[in-house]
Amino acid sequence: MRLTKLEHAALVLDDSGKKLYIDPGAFTTPITESAGAVAIVITHEHPDHWAPEQLGRIVEANPSVRIFGPAGVASAIGEAFDVEVVSAGDSVEVEPFSLRFFGGAHAVIHESIPVVDNVGVLVDGSLYYAGDSFTIPEGVDVDLLAVPAGAPWLKISEAMDYVTAVAPRRAFPTHEMVLSKAGKDLSNARLRDVTEKAGGEYVALEPGDTLDL
How confident is the model over 13-33, as pLDDT tens digits? 999 999 999 999 999 999 999
Pairing assessment for the beta strands 170-174 and 18-22 based on DSSP bridges: unpaired
> What is the per-residue pLDDT across 70-95, written as a single tens digit (0 to 9) for each?
999 999 999 999 999 999 999 999 99
Domain locations along the chain: 2-212
> For the chain, where are the alpha helices, taking DSSP H only?
52-61, 71-77, 156-166, 181-197
Homologous superfamily assigned to 2-212: Ribonuclease Z/Hydroxyacylglutathione hydrolase-like (3.60.15.10)
Question: In this prediction, what percent of the chain has a pLDDT beyond 90?
Answer: 100
* C-beta separation of 68 from 98 below 8 A: no
Widest CA span in the chain: 47
